[in-house]
Amino acid sequence: MAAPAAPDRVERIVIENCAIATVDAADTEYASGHVVVAGNRIESVGAGRAPEGLENVVRRIDGTGHLATPGLINTHHHFYQWITRGLATDHNLFDWLVALYPTWARIDEPMARAAAQGSLAMMALGGVTTAMDHHYVYPRGSGDLSGAIIGAARDLGVRFTLARGSMDRSEKDGGLPPDFAVESLEGALAATEATVDTYHDASFDAMTQIAVAPCSPFSVSTELMRQGAELARRKGVRLHTHGSETVEEEKFCHELFGMGPTDYFESTGWLGDDVWMAHCVHMNDSDIAAFARTGTGVAHCPSSNARLAAGTARVPDMLAAGVPVGLGVDGTASNESGELHTELRNALLINRLGPHRERALNARQALRLGTYGGAQVLGRAAQTGSLEAGKLADLVLWKLDTLAHSSIADPVIALVLGAAAPVTLSLADGKPVVESGRLVNGDEDAIARATRDEARRLARIAAGA
């Protein structure tokens, strides 16, 4: 990594005249304010114009008609599913998995690369500056899938966590995936450790981090859960998995382990402030209390949960108990849009259909889930997730002065409840990722062609298998 420039030579970007939602601890907002970016950090945020006399200003942006927010942070995804969208559309989770595993088990490195580019491009265009991928399908002889995925994120310029997944409980062991789709216990642990050693960056401004991420209780042995947790703690990296997604999973845990998912996670070392779990839909009061007591985080995926008829996570109760909660699009085989900014809206709407009704979530809380909450569950809250001096320059300038939004009274309401807002500029680590609605470091049309071609190639291979 290059040494930081001397302070007096740091290049500055000045953004002025925009509304600002900082998502800091006090939810500070400015009707018209400024953000000064110096290098890869936020130097100042405040009301009115930027301070006079700033040196080395390389760019000055008039944000009139815009809202500036922290960059959105996605906390659960499966990039490879970008090339299996629109399949098994009327299934619940277990039926959907059984329908798709045989196709997924045929992926190779070019497919993983194209799918990662498609998933990342879609999210970046919708304001994501920190992405994650929970990848757990590593067919034998498929190439360097983790390297391809990490390379795609680096090329596009977003901050990224690869949750190196694994499966070792196949049908012959009472699991859900077919035998040929899984790794051995030893193979999964060794490959995960090698991925951490090769790619994990623990620094403040890391662009790439690795988490240890066995897939789910119904596709992973108890030993892989236990040893995976030990590996993560030995390496000082985070842990991620799927938890309490459906009633079928709850039944599976009771039948196989004699306890519910949360108790099973606790028994295998999987509750703690270094753990976050996707979904957590079927949680009773004591499950939520256990997450709160241990600081275990949740990736709330409202669209995927609705698509697979899984149910509604008790997000208001989790937040009231102090559980860290972020948002996830989940894989695009169960959420074909793959956009995180629509999840802000869906989190609010779906939770208002629950028992807390209109008090379930408001627009500010929804924006917090998609920004600061995401940073918390990824373990990056000291570095990103809010617009504050000293934090990394990960931000989005949303265009709110067109037909879709110009008559909505409040810019945060416009962003959360209005149509998906165009991104005029997004910065990750102080560098542009999107400019005027286009990728800076990628060709959207070329990615669309590549993902279509790889989706067709995978379908042909799977049909002939």
- Determine the Cα–Cα distance for residues 404 and 73; give it in Å rounded to an integer: 24
- Determine the Cα–Cα distance for residues 399 and 397; give it in Å rounded to an integer: 7
- Determine the Cα–Cα distance for residues 22 and 368; give it in Å rounded to an integer: 10
Is the CB of 278 or the CB of 439 nearer to Zn ion?
A: 278
Q: At its nearest, how many Å lie between Zn ion and the CB of residue 278?
A: 5
Q: Which residue of this chain has its Cβ atom nearest to Zn ion in the complex?
A: 330
**Which of the ranges 43-51, 84-92, 99-107, 327-335 carries the binding residues for Zn ion, by CB under 5 A?**
327-335
Q: At its nearest, how many Å lie between Zn ion and the CB of residue 77?
A: 8
Other CB atoms within 10 Å distance of the CB of residue 186: 11
Q: Residue 422 phi/psi, 5° resolution?
A: -70, 150
Helices 109-125 and 444-464, axial angle in degrees (round to 10): 140
- Is residue 245 near Zn ion by the rule CB under 5 A? no
**Which of the ranges 82-90, 188-196, 323-331, 370-378 carries the binding residues for Zn ion, by CB under 5 A?**
323-331
Residue numbers 276-305 binding Zn ion by CB under 5 A: 278
Q: Which residues of 435-452 are buried (b: 16+ CB within 10 A; e: fewer)?
A: eeeebbebebeebeebbe
Is the CB of 163 or the CB of 348 nearer to Zn ion?
A: 163
Is the CB of 23 or the CB of 281 nearer to Zn ion?
A: 281
Mapping DSSP onto H, E and C, the string for 402-424 reads: CCCCCCCCCHHHHHHHCCCCCEE
- Determine the Cα–Cα distance for residues 10 and 319; give it in Å rounded to an integer: 39
Q: At its nearest, how many Å lie between Zn ion and the CB of residue 242?
A: 5
Residue found under tokens 């994990």: 200
**Which of the ranges 31-39, 93-101, 219-227, 271-279 carries the binding residues for Zn ion, by CB under 5 A?**
271-279
Q: At its nearest, how many Å lie between Zn ion and the CB of residue 281?
A: 12
Q: Which of 340, 440, 450, 462 has its CA nearest to residue 113?
A: 450
Is the CB of 19 or the CB of 369 nearer to Zn ion?
A: 369
- Is residue 330 near Zn ion by the rule CB under 5 A? yes
Parallel, antiparallel or unpaired: strands 395-399 and 66-70: antiparallel
Q: At its nearest, how many Å lie between Zn ion and the CB of residue 81?
A: 9
- Determine the Cα–Cα distance for residues 279 and 306; give it in Å rounded to an integer: 11
Residue numbers 45-64 binding Zn ion by CB under 5 A: none
Helices 93-104 and 247-257, axial angle in degrees (round to 10): 80
Is the CB of 72 or the CB of 278 nearer to Zn ion?
A: 278
Q: At its nearest, how many Å lie between Zn ion and the CB of residue 304?
A: 7
Q: At its nearest, how many Å lie between Zn ion and the CB of residue 296?
A: 17
Going from the C-alpha of 228 to that of each of 235, 237, 238, 311, 440, the distances in angstroms are: 11, 11, 10, 28, 37
Q: At its nearest, how many Å lie between Zn ion and the CB of residue 255?
A: 22
> DSSP states of 193-208 as a string?
HHHHHHH---STT-SE
Q: At its nearest, how many Å lie between Zn ion and the CB of residue 298?
A: 13
Is the CB of 274 or the CB of 330 nearer to Zn ion?
A: 330
Is the CB of 41 or the CB of 135 nearer to Zn ion?
A: 135
Q: At its nearest, how many Å lie between Zn ion and the CB of residue 272?
A: 20
Is the CB of 278 or the CB of 415 nearer to Zn ion?
A: 278
**Which of the ranges 94-102, 152-160, 257-265, 274-282 carries the binding residues for Zn ion, by CB under 5 A?**
274-282
Q: At its nearest, how many Å lie between Zn ion and the CB of residue 79?
A: 11
- Are the C-beta atoms of residues 16 and 41 closer than 8 Å to each other? no
Is the CB of 96 or the CB of 264 nearer to Zn ion?
A: 96
Is the CB of 241 or the CB of 451 nearer to Zn ion?
A: 241
- Determine the Cα–Cα distance for residues 246 and 282; give it in Å rounded to an integer: 6
Is the CB of 99 or the CB of 408 nearer to Zn ion?
A: 99
Alpha carbons within 13 angstroms on the beta-carbon side of residue 93 total 24
Other CB atoms within 10 Å distance of the CB of residue 300: 32
- Count of residues interacting with Zn ion (CB under 5 A): 2
Residues near Zn ion (CB under 5 A):
278, 330
